[in-house]
Amino acid sequence: MTLLGVQEPRLSLIPDGDRARGDKAVEFARWCGLTLYPWQEEALRCLCITDEKNLWAAREALFVVARQNGKGEVLVARELAGIYLFGEKEIFHSAHFMDTAVDAQKRLWEVIEDNDDLMYWWEDDEKTPGVPHMGKTNGKENITFPNGAIVYFRTRTKKTGRGLSVELLILDECFDLPKETYASLSKLTRAQENAQTIYISSPVNMEEHAHGAVFSAKRWAAIDKAPRMLFMEWSPDEDDDPFAQSTWAKCNPSMVSSGPGAQLVDIEADARAAQNSEALLEAFLVETLAQGNWYPRDGAEEEFIRVLDVDQVETMVIDKMRIRDLVGLTVVIDADPGRAMCSVSLAGRNKNTGDTEGMVGYHGALVTADVVGAILQLCDKVDPEQIIVDPRNPAKAIGDALDRQGIVITWMSFGDVKAATGEFLQGEKDGTVKFVDTDGLIDEAFEHAELKADAEGGVRWVKQHGIICQLTSLTYALWGARGVEETIATPHRPPPTAPVSIPNPRAAVRQMQF
């Protein structure tokens, strides 16, 4: 194995102080069986710098590094040091997705389980005998220790961590950190004199990450050399050639020719693809080179105001909808203009209340076979009255594929789009539009959805950045369900496109939640 990555960060802010605890933490990590690269050991060492009062010199720490470089190993080492060396009793590890939080729990547990000295650390302690335990309660994963210490592993929500006071707060994947969630989580360390918060992530791309403003603001503060902050960032300079290996090494400290780390051969493949695709180039710059498209500093951009605030959205949310109570079932497919994501929504009129109810059942990659397979499966289950697609939207490819499968598609006009948006807004005022908001997808869309008016007085959903196809598909489905007994739109067939190969669409279903 040859380590090719540059170990020193391009941007950094290292607090002054005593490094003795950091040296001890690095030695302990090696004793635990962790094999860290020099940059990871230095990150751990700097996290543990103490001031003249023996408190953490960095109350906040920010790490920006490209994906697949081993950020998780730094966190494991810091958590082990906190529990076994520094006497920290409560650590809170949060992530954007539950899968990531569970993976973090698994990594920490594997190190403990594989080292008998860690597992039986308290065996001879008369006051706290016993062994660590991994808890796998649904959504409340943790690792508890005989001395009463606990590491929580959670996804982030507005209510996550309420009532807790922790000494170490880890915000993993904080390119996605909603402001309200941050406001709640940041209070977890407020009552602790010697607490530390770690922000660690690949960079923000404001075109894709609707909740990247908090991480961006913290980064600007670090660049401005805010006190009691630790900051390390591996990223390219403005004039660096993104297709040069020297740039890849500069941005990937764990880049290797073989062995564990960011694989050179994979980076080379990503670079070749990025040279031939503008869309792939953007992803390559952000994910592989950590070239962020950061939210600007305050005052550089007009403040964004939501069309519907959180409370208004919550009044529209229902826990579930019963298909048997609905008539006029309508399915709508809509995709992000950048073709990154696609949403499928189902709606109908409740024959008991008269309200229109809907939900987003698929929100994932715009992969024709997957989406077509999911919709064919849905048609078998609920037999919708109609399937609606806007022919000006990238979802037209899905509509064309369904048409070739014998599914009749109703094509929306531009006037239909405006009518649907207006009816959604009026339905919120009248209290007649309801929806299931699985994982807060719709509320998330309102973080960057805007209204664009035309000279005729109509409005439609638009966005400056982020993803809102979950909102547009739901809006159109609710509108279509209410008008199913009327002439909803003038069916027309856009020019045919080339056939799409779908070898086994039903086997490709992913993420469908209907």
3-state secondary structure of 12: strand
Whole-number pLDDT of residue 129: 84
Instruction: Flag whether 1 is in a domain.
Output: no
My answer on whether 272 and 320 are in the same domain is: no
130, 82: one domain: yes
CA distance 172 to 108: 14
- Helices 38-47 and 71-80, axial angle in degrees (round to 10): 40
Identify which of 248, 245, 225 has the alpha carbon closest to the alpha carbon of residue 236. Answer: 248
Contacts of residue 442, Cβ cutoff 8 Å, sequence gap at least 6:
313, 317, 360, 435, 470, 471, 474
- 43, 228 contact by CB (below 8 A): no
* Cβ neighbour number for residue 74 with a 10 Å cutoff: 27
Q: CA-to-CA distance for 162 and 44, rounded, in angstroms?
A: 28
What range does the domain containing 278 cover?
A: 11-288
Q: Is residue 227 part of a domain?
A: yes
pLDDT at 511: 46
Residue 407: both structure tokens together: 């599914």
DSSP letter, residue 483: T
CA distances 478 to 150, 301, 382, 396, Å, are 46, 34, 16, 19
Q: What are phi and psi of 38, to 5 degrees?
A: -55, -40
Residue 6 lies in a domain: no
The amino acid present at 227, given as its one-letter code, is P
Select from 233, 253, 288 the last residue of a domain: 288
Encoded tokens for 314: 């919550």
If asked whether residues 368 and 276 sit together in one domain, one would say no
Residues 263, 347, single domain; the answer is no
Strands 150-155 and 141-144: antiparallel
Yes or no: say if 91 and 150 are a contact pair by the CB < 8 Å rule: yes
Domain assignment present for residue 301? The answer is: no
Residue 483's pLDDT is what? Answer: 85
Q: Bridge-partner residues for 56, per DSSP? A: 50
Q: Which residue do the tokens 């597992």 mark?
A: 119
- Asked if 276 and 352 sit in the same domain, the reply is no
What CATH number is given to the structural domain containing 438?
Answer: 3.30.420.240
Domain assignment of residue 133, yes or no:
yes
Count CB neighbours of 311 within 10 A: 7
Backbone CA torsion sign across 493, 499, 503, 508: negative
CATH code of 133's domain = 3.40.50.300
Instruction: State whether 314 and 261 are in the same domain.
Output: no
Q: Strand 341-350 relative to strand 356-365: parallel, antiparallel, unpaired?
A: antiparallel
Domain count along the chain:
2
* Bridge pairing between strands 459-463 and 449-453: antiparallel
Does residue 2 fall inside a structural domain? no
CA dist., res. 171 & res. 414, Å (int) = 42
3-state secondary structure 142-211: EEECCCCCEEEEEECCCCCCCCCCCCEEEEECCCCCCHHHHHHHHHHHCCCCCCEEEEEECCCECCCCCC
Last-in-domain residue among 220, 254, 288:
288
Chain centre to alpha carbon of residue 17: 35
Domain membership of residue 5 (yes or no) is no
What pLDDT does residue 498 have? 37
Q: Quick one: pLDDT at residue 302?
A: 56
Both 150 and 69 in one domain: the answer is yes
Which residue has 């529990």 as its token pair? 83
In terms of domains, do 337 and 458 share one?
A: yes
The answer to whether 174 and 75 are in contact (CB under 8 A) is: no
With 0-12 / 13-18 / 19 or more C-beta atoms within 10 angstroms meaning exposed / middle / buried, residue 54 is exposed
Q: Evaluate whether 101 touches 160 at the Cβ level (below 8 Å).
A: no
Asked whether 344 and 364 are in contact (CB, 8 A), the reply is: no
Q: Could you tell me if 322 and 268 lie in one domain?
A: no
What pLDDT was estimated at residue 513? 54
Say if residue 238 is in the same domain as residue 338. no
Question: Is 148 in the same domain as 226?
Answer: yes
Q: Please answer whether residues 160 and 170 qualify as being in contact, where contact means their C-beta atoms are separated by less than 8 angstroms.
A: no
* pLDDT in the model for residue 486: 46
Average pLDDT for runs of 10 along the chain of length 514: 92 96 97 96 97 96 95 96 96 89 94 94 84 85 94 84 86 91 89 94 88 94 96 93 94 93 93 81 90 82 81 94 94 90 94 94 90 88 93 92 91 92 95 93 92 79 89 96 61 38 34 50
Structural domain includes residue 300: no
Q: Looking at the structure, tell me whether residues 329 and 275 fall in a common domain.
A: no
